[in-house]
Each structure stands twice: as C-alpha cells, then as structure tokens.
Structure 1
Amino acid sequence: MNQLELVSHSTRQTQDLGKIIGGLASAGDIIFLVGNLGAGKTNLTQGIAKGLDVTENALSPSFVLVREMYGRLPLYHIDLYRLDLSEEIEELGLDDYFYGSRVTVVEWADKADELLPTENLRIEIAYLDENKRKLTLSAWGIRYEELLNEIAQRVKDAGFNSH
C-alpha cells in the first residue's frame, strides 16, 4: 500500500489519528504535513506527540521554526510557514533534524520539497467542510510503506472512514 485516504470528522479524530501514528513511529521517522492554513496540521502533530508520550502540548512552532519535545522518542516539530524562499529554508540546515534517534514532523513541507528527504510519510490535509477533513497519507520508501500498512490496520480497528 502506497496511499491511504481517510476522513476525519473532528479535531479530536484528527488527533486520534496522530496518536496512532505517534504510537507506531520509530526513531528516524520523517513525517511531512501539507495543507492550507487551519486545515489541522498542528492538531495532527499534537496527536503524534501524544502517541510518542510527550507530556507538553505541541503548539505550532511558527515563530521559532523548530520545537524539540521529549517522550518515548524525541520529537522535532518544524514549521516552514514563515519561510518563503528555498534559500532561507536551505540555510536552516534541516538535514541535522532528519536522521538519528528522533521523529521529525515538518508542517508546510511542500515549501521545501526539493530540500527534504525523499523517503517519508506525507500527509495532505484538505477541508471537506467546517469539521470534516480528508487526509491522504502517502508512503515514500519501504519503511513508510510498512508504517502505512500498520496505520491502515489501526485506523480500521478504530473505526475511521475511508474516503
């Protein structure tokens, strides 16, 4: 399986999906989030943090670009919203955040596609209405295909609707 489409009917359900993803995450996992402003990227990240047993709240790091949080595994939460030029993004030295014993989540990853690792779990979030969101999870690489298969089984067991 390379792609999974789900419908979330609430902020809580989006966070529950994140909690499933965080619970399955392994050291070195990279998760890219794409979607319009207010689509639910930070809500999903909050759930991922909970799944990693992070006790602090995963707020959007828009003003600091990177937040480090600690739980079962360290979580690096990167937000590229305020950056517009690939040169600005390249100067951040993001490679330092992608490898090692942590999980890295990048919001607004589409702003830096050419600078980011090609193997990842990419999640696109789209509005369906005020409460509902379509989440398209795409696996890029063997590790992420395995992760996506595990997520698919867990969300099925949790009663998520496929799109």
Structure 2
Amino acid sequence: MREIITHDAAETVRLGRALGQLAQAGDVILLDGDLGAGKTTMTKGIARGLGITGPVKSPTFTLIREYQDGRLPLYHMDVYRLENGGAEDLGLDEYFDGDGVSVVEWSEFITDLLPPTYVRIRIARTDSTDDTRRITITAHGGDYVRYEDVAFE
C-alpha cells in the first residue's frame, strides 16, 4: 500500500499520468471515492499517460467510454448507476480480459464481477479547505505492485 497527497487537480492529473505510463494491456484500475473526490480527474491523467490527447469525459450516463488513440485502449467505466444491479449484462469481463486498460469508478457496485487481480486507488478529500487529496494505492495480486512503486514526488 502507498499513500500520496496531492494538493490540487493538476497534481492529481500528474499522478494519474505517471500511473498511466505504468499501465499494461489487461490492467484493471479501480477508483473509489465520494462524489467530487477526483476520480474522473485521475482518469484524465491516466489517459494522458497512455498517450490519449483528446478530452476525457465522465461516463456517468453512458456507463462506458472507450478511447482508442493511445498506446493502449482505455475503457473508462462509471458503474454508479448500477448500484441496484444490471452490470451482469454489460459484458465487463470482455473489457477486463481485453487488450486495453479498464478504469472503473464506483467499483463497489460490481464487486462480484471484478477479476481476481487489480489495483485499487482510493481518493479522499482531506480536512483542509483546498483541493488536497489523500490517494491510497493498493495492489491486489498479479504484478500490480508496480503502481504502488510509482515515481511521484
């Protein structure tokens, strides 16, 4: 487990970029945190680290957005709306087992559908009044420990 503090959105994007540079085909990155914690901001950075240059938008209403123009495809998922079920019909395992990187916001709503190995990134606001975030990176199996070792100062 690794804990990192970011002090503004730009720093969160910079951390995400460093994580995206570490990403490999088939990686599953879970982003957990309250509304407005910075999950989509982190995903924007991951996209930049994958070489994706276009705009990255929250997939809240579309559930999944695909970005194909980087060194690996990015599958950005927001499963918040699946709190009461329905994810079984989405074929998420095809994304998880695919050739891209899957980033899943609100993963607690699809726990039974997650692969056995992944990295979980928890983003939490601190008690301060600014944009400071406490980001905890925890590897769960496989070689995901490389995310805990991310070079970020």
The TM-score normalised by the length of structure 1 is: 0.88
**CA distance, structure 2, for counterparts of residue 117 and residue 93 of structure 1:** 13
Aligned residues: 150
The alpha carbon displacement at 1:105 in A equals 0.3
Cα distance per residue 1:97-156 (max 9 Å; x no partner): 10121011001111112221120010011110331110010000131013422x1xx11x
What does 1:17-32 correspond to in 2, within 5 Å? 17-32=15-30
The residue type equivalent to 1:82 in the other structure is R
Q: What does 1:60-99 align with in structure 2 at a 5 Å threshold?
A: 60-70=58-68, 71-86=70-85, 88-99=86-97
5+ long unaligned stretches in structure 2: none
Is 45-54 or 125-134 further displaced after alignment? 125-134
Cα distance in 2 for partners of 1:46, 1:147 equals 17
Whole-Å separation in 1 of the counterparts to 2:9 and 2:46: 13
2-structure distance, mates of 1:82, 1:57: 22
Paired residue for 2:137?
137
Q: Deviations over 1:22-56 (max 9, x none)?
A: 01111111100000000000000000000001121
Equivalence for 2:118 = 120
Separation (CA, whole Å) in 1 of partners of 2:30 and 2:107: 6
**Unpaired runs of at least 5, structure 1:** none
Counterpart-to-counterpart distance in 2, 1:55 and 1:74? 12
